[in-house]
A and B are shown apart, each in its own frame.
Chain A
Amino acid sequence: MKVYYLLKTSLLSLAAHKFRSFLTILGILIGISSIVLISALGKGAQELIVQELSGLGAETLIVRPGKEPKGPSDFAQVLFSNSLKERELKAIRREGAVTGLVLAEPEVIVTGSVAYKGETFRPLIVGFSAEAMIDILKMKLSEGKPFGEKEAKERKRVAVIGWRVKKELFGNLSAVGKVIKINGKNFKVVGVLEPRGRVIFFDVDDLVLVPYTSAQAYLGATKHFQSIIVKVSSPNLVNEAKEDIEKILRNLHNIKDPEEDDFHVRTQKGLVQQVENIISYFTVFLVLVVAISLVVGGIGVMNIMLVSVTERTKEIGLRKALGAKQSDILKQFLLEAVILTTLGGILGIITGLVLALLGSWLLSKVLGIVWTFVFPLKAMLLSVIISSLVGIVFGIYPAIQASQKDPIEALRHE
């Protein structure tokens, strides 16, 4: 075909300077591969996070100490604030205080290890009602029974352990009824959770649950809670319940201005929204980075095309002498620029896909996160369009320069 002949005769010069041409399209390659990578991994991340947060249940609220973290400095407050204690828990649990309240359970965290007959394991030790946990996460026990409020009141030394903890300590033997040592203290295993894997920000299979009062009494857990988990009877009541809790705690702490809050209440909807916000900020930032790299890449292409036009002045003169019109030369050089940038785009797509596949492989195989690789078809099509547009935008000026060369001047060019 005619186009084939044109490309063959015109791309020779780009082909003769392979390395230079490659450097030229590197900017485009990086920009486009970022687009593909972001959309492949970003979608997966969003899906994962939203899916995990949905696992929390729409009727659950989390009350945490410290004001809602808006920046990194606020996180310290959350970690060190001791605004949630027994008094606050009682106030929330008071009959009729919180609309639709089903349960309100505090959570304290213990660091340490568990041991059974020489086997030790470092699990996630949490003082939290096992009944509440299986209710909120809609789980079952694979053996035994959970513990709840009664055991907490009596500071019972009982534990419900996660699937992996059981495997590590007991192998295939039954764990129920056995006495394990948590930080050296004896606790009786009453139940084992069914396997579940990661949920939200922790791995259920690594859990060891004990009554929070027992954690405080025997395992050195703080008197204040890391959070209070609240469940209401219907998702429709979540907002009302949130307002109730805020009112109760502000009253209790004499807070008039919500800005002064020493606690915050999170809901699933709020969390999802927050995550989506973070992702969209992140996306805007990345789009900016991509745009910059495409502009830089485009300028590189423009530069190399201008160099090419100068180098090939004679060729342009010859083509014109043999009957090429201005528009023929314009089209030829524009086509060259578009081919250059589209090639960069295609290489970018391949690079992006490879990185995304590698990334999801790492996430799922190495970190054990259940990851769905989203094939970014839209982003790929968009990438091809964007990269050829970059070629047109940044190739038009050199192409015009080429087309306006005077044939005889061009032929005489040394």
Chain B
Amino acid sequence: MNLIELKDITKVYSEGKIPTPALKGISLKIEKGEFLAIMGPSGSGKSTLLHILGMLDTPSSGSYFYKGKEVSRLNPNELAKIRNQEIGFVFQAFYLLPRLTVLENVKLPLLYSKVPYHKWDGLAQNAISKVGLAHRKNYLAVHLSGGEKQRTAIARALVQDPDLILADEPTGNLDSISGKKIMEIFQRLNQEGKTIVLVTHEREIAKLAHRVIFIKDGKLKE
């Protein structure tokens, strides 16, 4: 069974004076355990698509099935629960809380879970060592380098051991060596059985995925 199925998804941003179509009819199936890379030029709609996949944003039309359930029928609390338990999202801009330490940042999703407090530390430490940041766990997020911030954001996405990881340009801010390290992490996670969807505009990176799809002007070209 497909983990994800998109049928003719469109997204039009209509806050400004002129409505901006960002996605113009996307249909896509993602299987469980797949490693998918999404490529495309800037402004083509990659982040928009990923946000919809991550249930952070709602499509203007079309339908989105997640594990066979239509997402538009889920209420906000059910969506929050899926975001919390089943999806790990790595944002293009990291979004760490700057005055918290790496460890505290990584724990944040646990605040909204049912995981008992005494397990938090172990889970967070575990996620942090997976991204090789154990030596920085008590650093404040503001003091980290770009790559360390990126890895903290990945650790935060991993802390609840989600089935699906959505990463928006996780290597975008990094040099090629750091980028490779991050990709190794994703490959390892994929080998553990996690489904990974990764946005990138670097061919080198995309090559490491099972499948690459291209998006241009809000439309898919495989």
Contacts and interface: CB of A to CB of B under 8 A. Distances in A.
A8 B100 CA distance: 9
Given A1-B117, A319-B112, A326 B99 contact: no
B132 interface: no
Nearest to A12: B99
A5 B56 CA distance: 25
Interface string B74-100: 001100110111000101010101011
Indicate the size class of the contact surface on chain A.
20 to 34
A278 interface: no
Contact of A321 (B54, B100, B111): B54
B46 interface: no
B99 A322 contact: no
Interface string B128-148: 000000000000000000000
Interface in B50-65: 51, 54, 56-57
B84 A5 contact: no
Nearest to B52: A408
A411 interface: yes
B95 A411 contact: yes
A322 B108 contact: yes
Dominant secondary structure at the A interface: helix
A325 B99 CA distance: 23
Dominant secondary structure at the B interface: helix
A320 interface: yes
B25 interface: no
Interface residues of B, number: 28
Nearest to A320: B80
Contact of B80 (A2, A323, A411): A323
Interface in A125-173: none
A9 B100 contact: yes
Contacts of B108: 9, 318-319, 322
A179 to B, nearest CB: 84
Given A1-B117, A318-B95, A411-B95, A325 B77 contact: yes
A408 B58 CA distance: 10
Given A320-B83, A321-B89, A408-B51, 18 more contacts: A1-B117, A2-B117, A9-B100, A9-B108, A12-B99, A12-B100, A315-B97, A319-B108, A321-B54, A321-B56, A321-B91, A321-B95, A322-B108, A323-B80, A323-B83, A323-B109, A326-B76, A407-B56
Interface of A: 1-2, 5-6, 8-9, 12, 16, 314-315, 317-326, 328, 407-408, 411
Interface of B: 51, 54, 56-57, 76-77, 80-81, 83-85, 89, 91, 93, 95, 97, 99-100, 104, 107-109, 111-113, 117, 120, 156
What 5 pairs across the A-B complex have the smallest Cβ distances? A323-B84, A323-B112, A322-B109, A408-B57, A325-B80
